[in-house]
A and B are shown apart, each in its own frame.
Chain A
Amino acid sequence: MDSQIKKIHQQLVSKQITCTALVQEKLDLLKQNTYNSVNSLLDTLALDLAAKVDAKIAKGETIGLLEGIPFGIKDVFMLQGTYTTASSDLLKNYKSPYTATAIQKLLDAGAIPLVKENCDSFGHGSSSENTIFGAVKNAIDPTLVAGGSSGGSAVNVAKEYTIFSIGGDTGGSVRQPAGYNHIYGLKPTYGRISRYGLMAYASSTDCVGPLAKSVEDIRIVLNVMSGKDTKDQTSITSTEISEDAIATSNVKTIGYFKNFVESDAIDAQIKADFLASIEKIKAKGIEVKELDFFKSDILVSTYYTLAMAETASNLSRLDGTNYGNRIEAENLIETYAVTRSENFSEETKRRIVGGNQVLSQGFSDEIYLKGLALRDQISENFSKDFEAVDIILSPVTPNTPPKIGDSLKDPLAMYLSDAYTVGFSLGQLPTLTVPQGTSTGLQITAAKNNDELVLKFANFLKELI
């Protein structure tokens, strides 16, 4: 699909549509939708902003490319004055006092926020069922999960309720729902987009990422949000990616992880489709190398060990005194415990407890520190791979989306379903899901800071597969 942003920009400039009518239409669609993709609508704000864009156009002033373009925000991002619940009971009445850097940059460019989107509570989940707002339904088959944790964002883009949405990806939370709902979803290089104002899940892999229906829209939104930010000291400087720079691919060699496709866990059709895509790429004269990689269970266990440890620390502030819905008990310690016990979901509690297990004395050496050492090895492995290949291609998920209700019954199966996404998170690499190649898409990954090459190869695949 071509750029929706450019198409709407043209329609606004040529006065084919008004921004108010566009925003109202999208708000109506969001309000009536039965996919549980919405936590709260920002109707007053959105319509006010739309009226300003219309006034500008009426006066004959030029508008920027993103001006008047409606978008969605995963409900873990701060937007001043709006509820930011993280889909949790603990923060169901929490209002953002300030605005996240990534969101502020979009507002500054004139984009119009419509909705705070449903997701797994605090990003804890791969299905968008761990939420107080009801399980998000898959855009293609509503009996299936939307994926997660940015499930609401993926569905809103897929159904065209938003032109693009902003998700958060810690271990696959943008890429996997993008795959499940047949759209594009990018996890940029860690640090390329400031994390300031994104509620922390696991700070060492948390990334802000756009979801959209075209490579071009991903590029436009990525450029606007990127950049070093003094409010997030892990953020990095990056250069803008131009449309021309990604128009033609110069990729000569790609690789794929042999053990991902030889695993017993992969669905037969996804495997066959992935290998067929590889053959099409080979037929174009691109060299394809089979790469060795860590076993899936090591990747998943390393990721969850570190992510749980970090989330146990990050969520310790949610105690009903510093933040959240306080439930009073006989003393302070009891108040903390009752507040957290009653307000956190089972999955969030499971992850906090797991994190405290691995950080506690006697366990940290054999689990947490070993997890850190394994992450180093995984990253080193990537560095070596990218000396041999330009791009690593991978399926997004081993299986098709599960039925709503199934993931909650078997947490271990849910953790293992992240096998193909978590490794790239640990490596802090740029990875894009494209809605092609298998029924849950393909992941394109390049070396750190080479987000441009990822988009370039995505454009190449768009024509090929």
Chain B
Amino acid sequence: MSKTMTVDILSSIKGAQPSESVNKLFDVIKNAVPSNNNSLNNVNYNCVSVSNLREDVVIESSAIEKQIILENFPNKKNGFLVVAKVIEG
């Protein structure tokens, strides 16, 4: 994709513009000089080891959970849950 995407498109927010206040925060980072130059998160290890992964099993939702998920779904027509519109093109 060579097309440049603006922040309003990336954020799905109409007319969104970068904020001056937030840009001031980012300027501090741009001007900072880190003594290391990696972003490998070498200090806080939060990853899970392969041997410690949880079981890859399907857990059936309870009846009440399913019912609330249906209630929350934004739109329903003739008994079917519907998405906004099929993606065109």
A residues sitting closer than 8 Å to B (CB atoms) are 80-81, 93-98, 190-191, 204, 230, 233-234, 297-298, 300-302, 304-305, 308, 312, 316, 319-321, 323-326, 328, 331-333, 335-338, 340-341, 344, 349-354, 356-358, 360, 366-367, 369-377, 379-380, 383, 410-412, 415, 427-428
Q: Provided the pairs A349-B13, A377-B34 are in contact, do residues A81 and B68 lie with their beta carbons within 8 angstroms?
A: yes
- Judge if B78 is at the interface, Cβ distance under 8 Å: no
- Judge if B43 is at the interface, Cβ distance under 8 Å: yes
Does B87 lie within 8 Å of A357, measured CB to CB? no
Does A376 lie within 8 Å of B13, measured CB to CB? no
- Judge if B58 is at the interface, Cβ distance under 8 Å: no
Does B18 lie within 8 Å of A326, measured CB to CB? no
**Binary interface encoding of chain B residues 12-41 relative to chain A, with 1 for a CB under 8 A from any of its CBs, else 0:** 111111110110111011101011111111
Sample of 8 A–B contacts (CB below 8 Å): A93-B72, A97-B68, A204-B44, A234-B46, A305-B29, A308-B22, A331-B88, A337-B14
Total residue contacts A-B, CB cutoff 8 A: 177
Does A366 lie within 8 Å of B43, measured CB to CB? no
Does B34 lie within 8 Å of A366, measured CB to CB? no
Does A356 lie within 8 Å of B11, measured CB to CB? yes
For residue A304, which residues in chain B have a CB less than 8 angstroms away from its CB? Answer: 22, 25
Q: Provided the pairs A320-B84, A326-B74, A373-B38 are in contact, do residues A338 and B14 lie with their beta carbons within 8 angstroms?
A: yes
Does A326 lie within 8 Å of B68, measured CB to CB? no
Q: Give Cα A48 to B83, complex, Å.
A: 38
Besides the known contacts A298-B28, A328-B84, A360-B10, 4 further A-B residue pairs in the complex with CB atoms under 8 A apart: A95-B72, A320-B74, A349-B16, A353-B7
Q: Give Cα A373 to B16, complex, Å.
A: 28
Q: Provided the pairs A301-B29, A302-B29, A360-B5 are in contact, do residues A340 and B39 lie with their beta carbons within 8 angstroms?
A: no
For residue A338, which residues in chain B have a CB less than 8 angstroms away from its CB? Answer: 14
Does A373 lie within 8 Å of B37, measured CB to CB? yes
* CB contact between B30 and one of A230, A328, A367 (< 8 Å): that residue: A367
Does A356 lie within 8 Å of B7, measured CB to CB? yes
Q: Give Cα A451 to B65, complex, Å.
A: 35
Q: Provided the pairs A95-B68, A321-B74, A352-B13 are in contact, do residues A370 and B29 lie with their beta carbons within 8 angstroms?
A: yes
Does B46 lie within 8 Å of A354, measured CB to CB? no
Does B86 lie within 8 Å of A332, measured CB to CB? yes
For residue B19, which residues in chain A have a CB less than 8 angstroms away from its CB? Answer: 350, 353-354, 411
Does A335 lie within 8 Å of B41, measured CB to CB? no
For residue A204, which residues in chain B have a CB less than 8 angstroms away from its CB? Answer: 44, 46
For residue B43, which residues in chain A have a CB less than 8 angstroms away from its CB? Answer: 376, 379-380, 383
Beta-carbon nearest neighbor of A320 in chain B: B74
Does B28 lie within 8 Å of A297, measured CB to CB? yes
Chain B 62-81 residues near chain A, CB threshold 8 A: 64-66, 68-69, 71-72, 74-75
For residue B42, which residues in chain A have a CB less than 8 angstroms away from its CB? Answer: 376, 380
For residue B14, which residues in chain A have a CB less than 8 angstroms away from its CB? Answer: 337-338, 341
Beta-carbon nearest neighbor of B34 in chain A: A373
Does A376 lie within 8 Å of B29, measured CB to CB? no
- Whole-angstrom distance between the Cβ of B65 and the nearest chain A Cβ: 5
For residue B21, which residues in chain A have a CB less than 8 angstroms away from its CB? Answer: 350, 410-412, 415
For residue B32, which residues in chain A have a CB less than 8 angstroms away from its CB? Answer: 298, 301, 370, 374
Does B85 lie within 8 Å of A353, measured CB to CB? no
For residue A344, which residues in chain B have a CB less than 8 angstroms away from its CB? Answer: 13
Does A95 lie within 8 Å of B13, measured CB to CB? no
**Binary interface encoding of chain B residues 49-68 relative to chain A, with 1 for a CB under 8 A from any of its CBs, else 0:** 00001110000010011101
Q: Give Cα A132 to B29, complex, Å.
A: 33
For residue B15, which residues in chain A have a CB less than 8 angstroms away from its CB? Answer: 341
- Whole-angstrom distance between the Cβ of A415 and the nearest chain B Cβ: 6
For residue B10, which residues in chain A have a CB less than 8 angstroms away from its CB? Answer: 356, 360
For residue A372, which residues in chain B have a CB less than 8 angstroms away from its CB? Answer: 39, 41
Does A98 lie within 8 Å of B65, measured CB to CB? yes
- Cβ-closest 8 pairs across A and B: A372-B39, A379-B43, A301-B28, A326-B74, A97-B68, A412-B21, A335-B84, A356-B10
Q: Give Cα A102 to B36, complex, Å.
A: 37
Does B11 lie within 8 Å of A353, measured CB to CB? yes
* CB contact between A312 and one of B11, B25, B54 (< 8 Å): that residue: B11
Q: Give Cα A373 to B43, complex, Å.
A: 10
Q: Give Cα A297 to B28, complex, Å.
A: 7
Q: Provided the pairs A331-B85, A337-B12 are in contact, do residues A379 and B44 lie with their beta carbons within 8 angstroms?
A: yes
Beta-carbon nearest neighbor of B54 in chain A: A230
For residue B18, which residues in chain A have a CB less than 8 angstroms away from its CB? Answer: 353-354, 357
Beta-carbon nearest neighbor of A191 in chain B: B46
Does A371 lie within 8 Å of B29, measured CB to CB? yes
Beta-carbon nearest neighbor of B74 in chain A: A326
Beta-carbon nearest neighbor of B83 in chain A: A321
Q: Give Cα A93 to B44, complex, Å.
A: 37
Beta-carbon nearest neighbor of B87 in chain A: A332
Q: Give Cα A337 to B15, complex, Å.
A: 10
For residue B30, which residues in chain A have a CB less than 8 angstroms away from its CB? Answer: 366-367, 370
- Whole-angstrom distance between the Cβ of A308 and the nearest chain B Cβ: 7
Beta-carbon nearest neighbor of B37 in chain A: A373
